[in-house]
Amino acid sequence: MRSIQFREALREAMSEEMRRDKSVFLMGEEVAEYNGAYKVSQGMLDEFGPERVIDTPIAELGFAGIGVGAAMNGLRPIIEFMTFNFSLVAIDQVINSAAKLMSMSGGQYGAPMVFRGPTGSAGMLSSQHSQNFENWYANTPGLKVIVPSNPYDAKGLLKSAIRDNDPVIFMESEQMYGDKGEVPEEEYTIPIGVADIKREGSDVTIVSFGKMMKVALAAAEELAEDGINAEVIDLRTVRPIDYKTLVESVKKTNRMVVVEEAWPLASISAELAYHIQSNAFDYMDAPVKRVTCRDVPLPYAPTLIEASLPNVERTIEAVKSVMYKKA
């Protein structure tokens, strides 16, 4: 099977859906003439023209609102934020309009659209450009929230998101755009809301999503050298969450560690810990352990970034603490 970059997988997903459905279009800052800030939309302007690949001013609230109006009237917009840090300027349109249209109109109007772009730390970009808002959006009824970890999942999930009749938040890591992975040339989609067991194991369940899957999988490989067989689950979707897969895994392993890039308070990992301890308590040999970003704005200095973000060492430490501590 061929191997392509994360950005290429996203481009293929958008291009294939735009060829399939003329109501799909892409709009955002630098998506057209510049080929995308991270070259995700490279060549799409040449194929689809300026009516379907649309450059916008630096006005997230404005073009997000245009996208919502277009979705209400039968189109399927893909709204690209240059980074989800900038989506905070548009969050009123996302949460108070797109997410609520179906409910408030009694089903007369919907917002079949995708808001996509990079999330999380991208190196030395400091506090205002290094944040994770997956849990913010996942807190909102009416939205679906996807955070893929590899090119194969990214393409299949983005195609499903574009076809979905609900507004979808699709969050990528800009540190992964150059990552390569096997992606088939034939048509495929991946259902929204289904987690994936990336590594089978019997001793502990490690759960993560997005870029942090690299940390989870690397930790599992090192733990194997110490005789600890970790099962690694990629959530892929953080709203809806595939609780069933997680509960079944914990019933087998009796322990869980969640690795998440966001801050600890009111995070996805906090929700998972609550749900597992409420629905699999009798199977657990230790409390759920969380590995998150330190509870500070992300610094600029690379040494402080390294100290702030979840890493393999902290994950291994968390796993060993649940392996050797009884509940």
- Residue-level pLDDT, tens digit, the chain, 327 residues: 899 999 999 999 999 999 999 999 999 999 999 999 999 999 999 999 999 999 999 999 999 999 999 999 999 999 999 999 999 999 999 999 999 999 999 999 999 999 999 998 888 888 888 899 999 999 999 999 999 999 999 999 999 999 999 999 999 998 999 999 999 999 999 999 999 999 999 999 999 999 999 999 999 999 999 999 999 999 999 999 999 999 999 999 999 999 999 999 999 999 999 999 999 999 999 999 999 999 999 888 989 989 999 999 999 999 999 998 543
**40 with 98, same domain?**
yes
For residue 326, the model assigns a pLDDT of 47
**146 with 264, same domain?**
no
Please give the helix or strand (H or E) that residue 208 lies within, else none: strand 204-208
CB atoms near residue 205 (< 10 Å):
30
Minimal CA–CA distance to 292: which of 212, 219, 199? 212
Say if 41 falls within a structural domain. Answer: yes
**119 with 267, same domain?**
no
Say if 272 falls within a structural domain. Answer: yes
**Catalytic residue numbers?**
60, 129
Helices vs strands, H then E, count in the chain: 12, 14
What CATH number is attached to the domain comprising 168? Answer: 3.40.50.970
**226 with 270, same domain?**
yes
Say if 233 falls within a structural domain. Answer: yes
Domain that holds residue 301: 196-323
Say if 298 falls within a structural domain. Answer: yes
Asked if 147 and 238 count as a contact pair (C-beta separation under 8 A), the reply is: yes
| Total domains, the chain | 2
What CATH number is attached to the domain comprising 224? Answer: 3.40.50.920
Distance between CA atoms of residues 152 and 203, nearest Å: 28
pTM: predicted TM-score of the whole model, two decimal places: 0.95
Distance between CA atoms of residues 313 and 146, nearest Å: 27
**122 with 222, same domain?**
no
**162 with 221, same domain?**
no
User: Where does 237-292 show beta strands of DSSP type E?
Assistant: 237-239, 256-259, 289-291
pLDDT per residue as tens digits for the range 188-216: 999 999 999 999 999 999 999 999 999 99
For residue 327, the model assigns a pLDDT of 39
**105 with 72, same domain?**
yes
**15 with 109, same domain?**
yes
